[in-house]
Each structure stands twice: as C-alpha cells, then as structure tokens.
Amino acid sequence: MFAEHTKTCQEDSDVGDAFIKEEGRPNLLNDSEKDEGSTRNPVTQDYDPNQRVVSYEQLSILNLVVHPIWIFDYVERRMRWANHAAIEVWNASNLEELQTRSFQEISNAAAHRMDRYIEQFEIGLNVSDQWTLYPTGAATTCHINLSGSKFAEDGDNKHFCYLCEGVPLMKEELIEANSRSRNATTSSRGGSAV
C-alpha cells in the first residue's frame, strides 16, 4: 500500500530528504541565552512527546476537516482511524473497511523511512514528506505532514502511530515538483538541467 519516495532523482529513501519541522513550539531561549550560544533544544525543552495521546472520541471533530487525515499504526501495520476525506483517498467504502485492510507488505526502503519517522516523533518533531499511496492498486501521490500520536485506549501498550495529514497532488503539481527536484539535483552536482 505504501510506495517509495516519489522524487525522480531520489536514489535512496532516507528521511533526510524529508523536511523535518518543529512541533510549532515557540523558541524558548531568551535573548541572553541566544547570545551565549546555548545548546538547549528549544523544540523539546519542557515538552514530552509521550504526552501526545488522543482518544477515538476526540478524533470525530476531524471529520469536519476537508483534508484527508488518518492514523496509521506502523507497529501493528493497520489503519487505526481516518476522517471522511481520508476514506475517499484510500478508496474505501467506510472506516471499518479501511481498518480491516492488510498493510503487512511494506518495502524495506519504506520501512526504513518509517523507522526514522518514529525517531523524530520521540524527540517532538514532525515530518513533512511526499508519498505515493496505492489504495486498491490506484496511485495517489500526497504531500503528507506526519506527527507522532498515541492512543489512550492502548493503556500500558501505548506506542507512536503516524498521524497523517495528506494533501493529494494534482498531475501538474507533480510535474512541477519533479522538475524542481531534478533541477536542484542537477545543479548541486555542477551540471546543467536538460
């Protein structure tokens, strides 16, 4: 169901090519600490990513959002939840059908990327990346913002799941994104774009 990274010049699927961003926390360093070159991490300071726990009941409000949002459990290789827009993207008739689908077959490269995401979640970071999904065999490319989230219902067995906000890309956007990627890769190698 999950495909490799869609950048045409991508030779490996390392998460280093994904854009890793802060959790949206304000910079916690005051001006004197900035001047002193403090090594405190403003993203994780006073923030415990393990406190990011949601319940199924809380998720229902996300059905009002127009962007597809889903929660994928990488550990259990199953879809935990999806809003109405995500059910459409995943080409499912309803949430129950999507939750019963098998996600056991994940390529080694995709698994490596997903392992790296967990490492980012554990220090309070989000990841923004592009994936091509193949729900029921039809390709859908999405820009996805991923955050780590745990389920309250898991009790003592809580683990990070992928809270995904997907934005499906249109054909024109894909052509433009691939062109930019090709040009940037060619330029960084000292060549010229064709």
Mean pLDDT of the chain: 74
Instruction: Give per-residue pLDDT as tens, 152-165.
Output: 888 888 899 999 99
- pLDDT > 70 fraction of the chain, expressed in percent and rounded: 64
List Cα–Cα distances, 93 to 97, 98, 161, 163, 176, in angstroms. 7, 8, 23, 21, 32
Instruction: Give per-residue pLDDT as tens, 175-187.
Output: 676 666 655 544 4
Strands (E) located in the chain: 2-5, 19-21, 53-54, 69-73, 78-82, 126-133, 140-151, 161-168
CATH number (domain holding residue 114):
3.30.450.20
Determine the structural domain holding residue 80 and report its residue range.
Answer: 2-9+46-188
CB 108 within 8 A of CB 79: no
Domain count, the chain: 1
Q: Considering only 15-19, 42-46, 120-124, which range has the smallest mean pLDDT?
A: 15-19
The amino acid present at 33, given as its one-letter code, is E
Within-domain flag for 157: yes
Report the candidate in 108, 113, 146 with the shortest Cα–Cα distance to residue 15.
Answer: 113
Within-domain flag for 39: no
User: Which pair of structure tokens corresponds to residue 188?
Assistant: 């960084």
Within-domain flag for 155: yes
Within-domain flag for 24: no
Whole-model pTM above 0.75?
A: no
Within-domain flag for 26: no
Strands 140-151 and 126-133: antiparallel
Within-domain flag for 73: yes
Distance CA 20, CA 186 (A): 23
Higher pLDDT, 9 or 118: 118
Within-domain flag for 97: yes
Within-domain flag for 132: yes
Sign of CA dihedral 175, 89, 146, 76: negative
